[in-house]
Structure 1
């Protein structure tokens, strides 16, 4: 099987850009509604899709309450910011930490929706399977004593490798 990699448009600094803008919730309305009505659950499911612990966003929820009890004010959600930076780093998306801080502080729900859309878009892969036609057997009129049996054998590239699928035919000969 051959795997086709679709490149994203390049953003600032020669890196890729986000697949969707921060306020493009209309592209995935069900996720937007899920985030709006139950942001903690949405945050947990998004971190799970990204491959991190699903309990990680609970720090954003419980962290400010614990810190306020000790008299320390937190205005930047640490997990939201860390996830945004991790998504940018993993998918090589251009941007800066200042942009991430502003988005995480001002539009946390939109930030999580954008990260979710990006993770879903990057998980989709396009696969093209190439098959070659079966070759016709050669006529055996030259030597009638040879009996040929054909057994088709398909060899393809392993998952993750790039290469066309190849179909080969083996011929077993028996001399009389």
Structure 2
């Protein structure tokens, strides 16, 4: 349906009305109160097609692209924050694990409210991994703890530190 400019058109946008030459809700041809509804107003309205273009121009603009799968905030929750061999990302943890391995194991156990003697065990790694839904298995935890116990405990401690910084450690 096409309406000529000389005809009156009843067309209201939600929360605002647009008019030809309108300024703060008033039109040069304004004779009534537009906020009271179409019956109280006799303004000359723009063509509905023009209003639709103006309405579409006022829609919000997408500034970030949506992510596929899980939200970004939960990606960091369900993975290791650092790799097994990423000792250089936190040299303090690496040095502590290298020169005072039992101390680092006790720190990890204390952070997780467990017995100090359990800090370097397969059970501690499995508990930590399952608490944060990190993919893996008891078999992989056993192999990692057996082959490189220092790297395993260092990874857990780095992960605890990162999760604390993000506010997602419990």
Give the TM-score of the pair, scaled to structure 1. Answer: 0.50
Among candidates 21, 34, 37, match of residue 83 of structure 2: 21
Residue 137 of structure 2 is matched in structure 1 by 96
- The alpha-carbon deviation at position 45 of structure 1 amounts to 1.0
Tell me the distance in 1 between the aligned counterparts of 2:80 and 2:95. Answer: 21
Q: Give the aligned partner of residue 74 of structure 2.
A: 7
- Is 1:44 the counterpart of 2:111 in the alignment? no
CA distance in 1, matches of 2:106, 2:113: 11
Structure 2 unaligned spans of 5+: 1-71
Per-residue CA deviation, residues 46-87 of structure 1 (Å, 9 max, x unaligned), is: 111122133444xxxxxxxxxxxxxxxxxxxxx510000000
CA displacement at 1:90 relative to structure 2: 0.7
Distance in 2 separating the partners of 1:80 and 1:93: 17
Asked which structure has the greater CA Rg, the reply is 2
Which structure has more relative contact order (CA 8 Å, sep 6+)? It is 1
Deviation above 4 Å: which 4+ runs of structure 1?
none
- 1:85 pairs with one of 111, 126, 137: 126
Q: Distance in 1 between matches of 2:83 and 2:118?
A: 25
Aligned length: 96
Give distance in 1, aligned partners of 2:166 and 2:140. 29
Equivalent residues in 2 for 1:53-132, closer than 5 Å:
53-57=115-119, 80-125=121-166
Tell me, which stretches of 5 or more residues in structure 1 are unaligned? Answer: 11-15, 58-78, 127-176
Q: Deviation of residue 9 (structure 1)?
A: 4.8
Instruction: Please state which structure has a larger fraction of its residues in strand.
Output: 1
- Deviation, 1:18, is 0.9
| Cα RMSD after superposing both structures | 2.0
